[in-house]
A = this chain, B = another copy of it.
Amino acid sequence: MQVIKFPERAEWTFILARPSMDTRSLEQTVSNILEGVKKDGDEAVMRYSLMFDKVSLESLEVPPQHVEEAHSAVSAELKAAIAVAKANIEKFHLSQMQPELKVETMPGVNCWRRSVGIQNVGLYIPGGTAPLFSTLLMLAVPARLAGCRQIVLCSPPDTMGRLHPAILYAASLTGVHRIFRVGGVQAIAAMAYGTGSIPRVNKIFGPGNQYVMCAKQLIQKEGIAIDLPAGPSELAVYADESANPAFVASDLLSQAEHGVDSQVLLVSCSEFLLDRVLEEVNRQLEGLPRKQISKRALENSKMILVKNPEEAMDLLNQYAGEHLILACSDAQAMSERVVNAGSVFIGHYSPESAGDYASGTNHTLPTSGYAASYSGVSADSFVKKITFQKLSQTGLAAIAETVQIMAEAEGLQAHANAVKIRMGNSTS
């Protein structure tokens, strides 16, 4: 980790910059696959699955038998853990569901807003070394609460055409309606355009490699909504001398093991603490199976020594990190000054892993500084909020003049007429 002491504010932008991700070089490759699936449907999906995932499939949908087998393959211990996580995620996301709230803005003018589940949603769960069933919980649980009519899952199979049992078990438990063993750009394309087997969806959620991210960006331009612009995962920690250096080091390492492009940031006013954490990082690193990945991620990572907690908070707000741990004695007070962050972990016993898996908050969060303008995934992400209004004749009379004057000032006579004609004083 780089150690930076007392940087000037003018240098912050440079220090806090994320490694830039330019997907333009991928756009042609990704566009070709999108076009292929748009044109040839299932046939193209199978062709690309053979090409990229080395799997020859006779059907894209996961056979029900695989799902049944997954129920036996997952250990009782893991099932119990998933049950706890699911219950907490449900509880927290349920609190985000907004009831209809009718507002009578003037007598006879009633306005309200109703949250309606997006009818068809697509979830993408990457394959690779780690079966991310936790991400599936984070997406499928709020999708169900939101009342989405059809939840579709795509995830790349192994060369035998199998998904990991934990993925299948979690999908079945959370009520995913259709499960397809398809990965990569071809999965995003299939859900965006629809194929013979895979239904077209209105919004696509979930992480993926740079090809998948690029595909999500491109289909967004064609009117399919996506959850969030994506970037490498990241963690910022603020720690004072009340922090346990071993705890802080374990948090930095839990982030660093995600991938070589992960980034961690440790901010403190105590050089003593920074030194202790650095020692601990090096010590704990040795015992980790994903040591090589973590080492490379730590090369992009920084320890920053600042003058005081106020400066630390300014810097952290400018960073707008995906995760922010406040490991300090006045963590609660500090948390009230956070304006840019995806998810905040308060105090010495709130590690990021708690939120990654089981506390109940969502772990699909804005990276790369997007936290300055985007929220993480929540129940909101799975609904549209439709506004309604009902005016009585009296209600319309109460705002008729206002509407007419404004419409005429904007030069929109027909807008004024729609009110006048109802008030019985049409000019036409």
Give the interface of A toward B (CB within 8 A): 77-78, 80-82, 84-85, 87-88, 91-92, 95-96, 98, 101, 103, 105-106, 109, 111, 113, 116-119, 129-134, 166, 202-203, 217, 220-221, 223-225, 229, 246-247, 250-251, 253-254, 256-258, 283-284, 286-290, 294, 331-332, 335, 338-362, 366, 368-376, 378, 380, 383-393, 395-396, 399, 401-403, 405-407, 409-419, 421-422, 426-428
Q: In the complex, are the beta carbons of B221 and A410 less than 8 A apart?
A: no
Min Cβ gap A115→B in Å is 9
Q: In the complex, are the beta carbons of A384 and B369 less than 8 A apart?
A: no
Q: Which residue of B lies closest to A398 (CB)?
A: B84
Min Cβ gap A167→B in Å is 11
Q: In the complex, are the beta carbons of B253 and A422 less than 8 A apart?
A: no
Q: In the complex, are the beta carbons of B95 and A409 less than 8 A apart?
A: no
Q: How far is the CA of A376 from the CA of B384 in the complex (A)?
A: 8
Q: In the complex, are the beta carbons of B109 and A415 less than 8 A apart?
A: no
Q: Which residues of B contact A119 (CB under 8 A)?
A: 339-340, 372
Q: How far is the CA of A294 from the CA of B368 in the complex (A)?
A: 45
Q: Which residues of B contact A370 (CB under 8 A)?
A: 223, 225
Q: In the complex, are the beta carbons of B427 and A351 less than 8 A apart?
A: no
Q: Which residues of B contact A339 (CB under 8 A)?
A: 116-117, 119
Q: How far is the CA of A360 from the CA of B88 in the complex (A)?
A: 37
Min Cβ gap A334→B in Å is 11
**Contact (A402, B84) CB under 8 Å given A372-B202, A414-B254:** yes
Q: Which of B80, B223, B402 contacts A358 (CB 8 A)?
A: B402
Chain A interface mostly: mixed
Q: How far is the CA of A383 from the CA of B371 in the complex (A)?
A: 10
Q: How far is the CA of A96 from the CA of B114 in the complex (A)?
A: 11
Q: Which residues of B contact A289 (CB under 8 A)?
A: 411, 413
Q: Which residues of B contact A371 (CB under 8 A)?
A: 384, 386
Q: In the complex, are the beta carbons of B78 and A92 less than 8 A apart?
A: no
Q: Which residues of B contact A203 (CB under 8 A)?
A: 373
| Residue among A283, A413, A418 facing the most chain B CB atoms (10 A cut-off) | A418
| Residue among A203, A347, A396, A417 facing the most chain B CB atoms (10 A cut-off) | A417
Q: Which residue of B lies closest to A287 (CB)?
A: B428
| Residue among A246, A340, A354, A395 facing the most chain B CB atoms (10 A cut-off) | A354
Q: Which residues of B contact A166 (CB under 8 A)?
A: 409
Q: Which residues of B contact A421 (CB under 8 A)?
A: 246-247, 250, 284
| Residue among A203, A283, A344, A391 facing the most chain B CB atoms (10 A cut-off) | A391
Min Cβ gap A252→B in Å is 9
Q: Which residue of B lies closest to A350 (CB)?
A: B391
Q: In the complex, are the beta carbons of A414 and B294 less than 8 A apart?
A: yes
Given pairs A111-B359, A203-B373, 5 additional interface contacts (CB within 8 A): A250-B417, A258-B412, A344-B387, A357-B407, A359-B391
Min Cβ gap A160→B in Å is 19
**23 A-B residue pairs with CB within 8 Å:** A78-B406, A81-B406, A82-B406, A92-B111, A95-B103, A96-B101, A96-B113, A117-B339, A134-B406, A253-B414, A254-B417, A254-B418, A258-B412, A286-B428, A287-B428, A290-B412, A342-B386, A344-B386, A345-B388, A353-B415, A353-B416, A354-B396, A357-B415
